[in-house]
Amino acid sequence: MKINNFDLEKDGTYIIAELSANHGGSLQIALDSIKAAKKAGANAVKLQTYTADSLTLDVKTKDFEAEGLWKGEYLYDLYKKACTPYSWHKELFSYANKIGIDIFSSPFDKNAVDFLEQFNPIAYKIASFEITDHELISYAASKMKPIIISTGIATEEEIYEAVKICKEAGNNEIILLKCTSAYPAPLEEANLLTIPNMKDKFKVTVGFSDHTLGITGPITAVSLGAKIIEKHFILNKNIDAADVGFSLDINELKEMINAVRECEKLLGIVSYTMNAKKQKSRHYARSLFIVKDIKEGEILTENHIRSVRPFIGLHPRYLRRIIGKEVLHDLKYGSPILEKNIKDFNI
């Protein structure tokens, strides 16, 4: 599967820098963040496209109070402050395209999908809390772009439903993201072993949307087969933004990306081939040597032979086969034992 020009099977891990609310209400900070994400090595920047009215109601009761990092705020006020204004999108998409970094967004209702279509986004992302919104998933999937779905609050049944909805819309370009919807998420609740299980169970590409602190989570996820990493980032942590408490700054994002790329190199491919470097190193493996002088015609015993470095004599696997054999030449202490030295012996 490809996202834009990036092949998820051949090109490594697709890294998404999630801007979310971390523009702090400033268009210039949003633009500078896109530039910094590109410089850090991210493949894409992701926005969130919503208004407070598309997410909740302007009601000031306990039911509409936020929790966790945002405790003390009402949902409507929080979303109004955190949203990325629709009026910014054209400039943000244009700037990202100009500097050569992918850009797309999470729509939170069908109107947001219609609005985003004018920018021809490379994909759509369904946020964890929207995985139960079947109409939104179906509508976004119908645009026939790769659809990335976070699973942070979903039951297994709801994940099956989301995948089915996409396929019923004719869209098989589905990516599920393992996610823990806690902000920040405790390490012990990440359960990243679910990643290979999700791939087998749902028969789709799988990635990781990370809300843990630090960069260990993404590296672990890649080692378990994640093809996408999504991580919240912020230009610097002095910005007054809703998601700063679980976001990487640009230096940390760069460190994470470098670590992921190193992890990819370490994983490599399944290989048992003998390349030039391995072949050269085999010089220091063990082989069979004479450790007691022996005359032509004498019989080899265990006292004559040891398996020592370097690897210029017979392979140690032949030790038992040559004991009791006659030698064809005088062999001195420190001589490698070779096939030609032993009577009636062939490798």
Average the pLDDT over 134-141 and give the result.
98
Average the pLDDT over 227-239 and give the result.
96
In order of their start, the domains of the chain are 2-267 (3.20.20.70), 276-341 (3.90.1210.10)
Nearest to 290, CA basis, from 319, 266, 250: 319
d(CA 231, CA 246): 9
Is residue 138 a contact partner of residue 165, using CB atoms and an 8 Å limit?
A: yes
Specify the pLDDT at position 11. Answer: 97
- Element of type H or E holding 251: helix 250-267
SS (H, E, C) 181-243: CCCCCCHHHCCCCHHHHHHHHHCCEEEEEECCCCCHHHHHHHHCCCCEEEEEEECCCCCCCCC
Is residue 308 a contact partner of residue 333, using CB atoms and an 8 Å limit?
A: no
Instruction: Tell me the pLDDT band of 274, cut-offs 50, 70 and 90.
Output: confident
Cross-strand partners of 231? 17, 210
d(CA 43, CA 96): 11
The DSSP string of 41-67 is T-SEEEEEE--HHHH-----SGGGB--
Specify the pLDDT at position 69. Answer: 82
Q: What are phi and psi of 121, to 5 degrees?
A: -65, 150
Average pLDDT, the chain: 96
- Element of type H or E holding 93: helix 89-99
Distances (CA, A) of 171 to 149, 164, 292: 13, 10, 74
Specify the pLDDT at position 242. Answer: 87
Cross-strand partners of 209? 179, 230
d(CA 308, CA 327): 20
12-38 pLDDT tens trace: 999 999 999 999 999 999 999 999 999
State both tokens at 266.
């370490």
80-96 pLDDT tens trace: 999 999 999 999 999 99
